[in-house]
Amino acid sequence: MSALRVLVTEPVMGRFTDVLTRDGASPHTWTFDFTAAADPAEYDVLVCSSATPELLAAMPRLRLVHVTGAGVDKIPPLPSGVQLANTFHHGRSIAEHVMMTAMMLLRRVLRSEADLRRGVWQNAMVDQEYPFGGVLAGRTLGVVGFGEIGATVARLGAAMGMTIRTVRRRPEAPLPAGLDVAWVGRDDQLHELLAASDVVVVTVPLSDATRGLIDAAALASMKPTAILINVARGAVVDEQALYDALETGTIAGAGIDVWWRNPREPGNPPPSHLDFTELSNVVLTPHQSGHTAEVFAGRAVDITDNVDALADGRPLRNLVDL
């Protein structure tokens, strides 16, 4: 195995240096540089979540760009001969987040916790007007998109006693083994799915075809008792339409984990130009549904395995063709 020089620019991976370096036993040189202090010309591998054309142009030895997640939308076109790989492991983490969010909304946890924090003991036993919570069992889970994340959400939903329905680009494609799906529709049957679902989970990738997919008309087709949970990309859901639907009671609630802007970008833009924090029927999280230790430890293993494979001349896993 030839030793490679690896530059890691994604700060979160600095918390998994033991995995990446195999507890110091890796033959490769690993540099963790989160301030652009290192000379990029010295490195064969770049581990990152994003890169600029200028950075790539300054790396004449570059052979592999390995992103630290699934998305490669922040990677510009690569020089000839440079490979691109990604990594996953987030399906179970995101699916558990979806179930947690759905249960929080159905049980009205936000209201109960807020009451208790201000010293008010209020529930259906002491207040005849207080709404009951609900369970997942017996409800219909509508999954928009049926890739790894969607299928894992469906498995957990089925284990909780939910009926599973989905729309997908290729409805005739085989379903994951052991998963009972009551109905599989085409993309153009989205509104039919929404109308039949009590919990709708959006898991499709962002593309020209899916941008604004969940618009005002789609939200209007949902039950007023239904909830929407978006773990895909913010722009898949129309920002203003979702706010209006929540404010007017068109739908009962929403879980928003993905947003329309990234506060880490230049200028620190707010995640939304609308104040979703003023709404009491939403669970808001900062794009962290996949942020568990298990996810990033698994990703670190993938990355270091691919670096070893590159050094050995073996095929790499999870290669992406931009």
Could you give the residue numbers annotated as active site?
Answer: 233, 265, 287
Find the helix packing angle between 91-106 and 148-159, rounded to 10°.
50
Structure tokens at 294: 């298990």
**CA-CA distance, 293 to 282, in Å (whole number)?**
26
The number of beta carbons lying within 10 Å of the beta carbon of residue 63 is 17
**CA-CA distance, 104 to 95, in Å (whole number)?**
14
**CA-CA distance, 42 to 311, in Å (whole number)?**
16
Asked if 4 contacts 29 with a C-beta cutoff of 8 angstroms, the reply is: yes
The number of beta carbons lying within 10 Å of the beta carbon of residue 153 is 31
**CA-CA distance, 26 to 92, in Å (whole number)?**
29
Closest CA to 232 of 271, 201, 207, 203: 203
**CA-CA distance, 307 to 277, in Å (whole number)?**
43
Q: How far is CA 280 from the centre of its chain?
A: 23
Asked if 4 contacts 45 with a C-beta cutoff of 8 angstroms, the reply is: yes
Checking 37-44 for CB contacts under 8 A at 24+ apart, the result is 38/7, 40/7, 42/5, 42/7, 43/5, 43/6, 43/7, 44/4, 44/5, 44/6, 44/310
The number of beta carbons lying within 10 Å of the beta carbon of residue 318 is 15
Question: Which residues, other chains included, contact 116 with Cβ-Cβ below 8 Å and sequence gap of 6+?
Answer: none
Point out which residues pair with 6 in neighbouring strands: 30, 45
Asked if 32 contacts 17 with a C-beta cutoff of 8 angstroms, the reply is: yes
